[in-house]
Structures are given as structure tokens and as C-alpha cells.
Amino acid sequence: MITNFLQSLKIKSLSKQLSRNGLAEALNPARISPAPETFSSRLQNYLNKADNLPLQVFLTEFNYWCLDSTFPYPREPVTSVISKQTAVYCAIFRKALQNNSHNYAEAYKTFWHRMDMLADSRLQASEIETLLTAESKEYNPNILPYEVDWTQTDKQNLTLILPPTICFASDNLPSDLQAKIAALWGEILFLSSKLLFGWQDIIYNQKGEVNFYLPDYMLPIDSQLKNFAVKYLKTRAIPQKYAEYKFVAAFTRLKKLCPKVDFFDCWQSFINTGYHETYETQPNSEYLKNLQDSGLTAVIDTPLELNSLKKIKALQTPKNITSGKRFLNSSPIVIIIISMAIYFLLKHF
């Protein structure tokens, strides 16, 4: 009870802090509906200047449906700060989850992942390796590779092995590299099924190789988001789900980074493709025969033989049940005959 009271005081204090910065609606999404555009602008301005990393992560996830962009994600561990604030943010999220609105379950999951990344540099390193695995040097020769030095990386320190003579860019990316970074982002989305919705910088070298430096959490996606991405590019479709809002925010940031790119031309092969999920099917007869020859068929379950639905339907009607041959022995005549036989035996024997 005391814990809940203290959390209520902290939530009230947070609300006052946001109100002083013109964000009184930030903890009450229902109040944002009449004017989401103005709130989005105020929130974006606040995120760009705020120096409280956990609060930035919380606001971007709790108000994800009002943002049309993302902020550069710093990478300093803030373990001591997180331990004091996480409980308050979680309490606000849980209250939103009770109302089951705005896909908060997915936002809450991403919030936890990003907070963990802030607290532990090893998780940041793992996200970098997820990015590098999603990229294909064979498919795109313009990728600038780098790697994590795991021998020097621990909870508080992230150490990377970077190529020599590289340049960093956060906004003003040279025009000749814009198409390359846009193509790389599209390949990660459409080919590797990963939505990269934040990064700190772009790195490049004199050879024209490029890459994303220090990625934010990479959201796994399905064919539905890919189809939405295509629809959004063609008709500016309105997002409805969490991942769709995240795509719009990330794509908006990518467009600002690459203002000279024609995305229809850059992503032509992706836009002209229909996406659908692939499901595992039953093994074919040749595969089963090979397993049988090798003595490994025990790992495959034999399909069960199911009764016909007609038999089940026949058992649902009482008159059908009583008229069946298996139930003739339960008729009144049979019962009377058996009773007389028992009486006769008892009487004479």
C-alpha cells in the first residue's frame, strides 16, 4: 500500500514536470485525440532537447502513435537512473494495458527491451550484431562492415572495431550516399524482416561504403507490415497498429536523412512484390521414405484417423440413439422379461 502511494506521488510529480514543458496530455492519451498534430510537434521538440534517456524511451513508446519521427538514440549506460524510474513508468504502462488501447502490449514489450539496452551495453552490442546479420554484403556491396569487440565489452562499456578513416553523419549525409543508405534500410526491412526505427549516426568512407552506426531496437516484422509499407508508399495509408506507426516514424526520419532519394525508384523491386507468410507443411513422401530407410521415422507422428462427422451428427438426435441396434436391449419389454425370469428363479430355486 505504501509502495502504491509513493508511486502515485512520483507519477503526479512526473505529470507536473511534463505540464511545465507543454505536455500535459503525455500521460493521458485520451486527451490527445482532438489535436494529435500539435501534441506530436511539442513532444518531438521536447525529445530533441531532453537529457533524460529513460524518460525519452518511455515517452516515445507510450505515445508512439503521436510521433512522426524518432530521436537519435544515445548509448551511455544509465543503470542507476533506470532503477529509480522504471517502476513509475511500468505503473503507467500497466494502467494503460488495463484499458487495452493503442496496442500497448507491444509498446510495453519494446519499452522493456530498450530500457534493458540502456542499462547493459552487452545488449546494445547484441543489437548491433542483429543489424550486421540482417545485412548481406553479397546482395549489397556498398555495406561498410564493423564489429563488436566482445573481449572489451561489458555491462558498462561497449567497444567496437571500426574500419580506419571513416566519417560520421547524423543529418547532412552527402547526396551520393543517400541512395545507398536508403537501399540498405529497405533491404533490411523487406528482405531480412527487421524494422530499424532508430540509429545514432551514419558511417561511411571514401569508397562510398555506408552503414548504420549504433542501431536502436530492431523490431521483427511480418508480411502484413511489408504490405502496409508498400501501401503507405503508394497511398499514404493511415497506420492502425503499433508496428505500422513505428514504420511511419522510421521512414519519416529516413526521408529527412535522404531528401534527394526517389524511394519508388530505389525500392522498385520491393514495391512491386506481394508479401505473404510461409508456413511449414507436412513432409513429402520421398522425405518420409528416406527417414524410414535410415530408421529415423520414430520422430514423426502418424496422423490420427478421425471419425466421420456424419456419425457424430447421428448421435446428437435422441430418437436416432434409441432406434439403433445397440440400444434395443434397453427397451421396456426386455426389462419386464428379465424381471419375470429373476422372480421365477427366486420362487422355485
Average pLDDT (218-238) is: 94
C-beta atoms surrounding 247 within 10 Å: 22
Give the pLDDT mean for 175-197: 95
pLDDT more than 70, % of the chain: 76
- Strand pairing class (167-169; 160-161): unpaired
> Mean pLDDT, the chain, as a whole number?
82
Of the pLDDT bands very low, low, confident and very high (cuts 50, 70, 90), residue 313 is low
Alpha helices in 21-78 (DSSP H): 36-49, 53-62
Give mean pLDDT, residues 155-171. Answer: 91
pLDDT, position 309:
67
Least confident residue range of 33-47, 200-214, 247-261: 33-47
The pTM score is 0.75
Give pLDDT tens digits for 241-290.
Answer: 999 999 999 999 999 999 999 999 999 999 988 888 765 566 667 776 77
The pLDDT value given to residue 147:
95
- Which pLDDT band, with edges at 50, 70 and 90, does 182 fall under? very high
Render pLDDT for 10-33 as a digit per residue (tens, 0 to 9): 788 888 888 888 888 888 765 555
pLDDT given at position 74: 53
In sequence order, what are the residues at sequence separation of 6 or more whose Cβ sits closer than 8 angstroms to the Cβ of residue 263? 182, 186, 233, 255
204 has a pLDDT exceeding 90: yes
66: left (phi over 0), alpha (psi -120 to 50) or beta: alpha
232/228 Cα distance (integer angstroms): 6
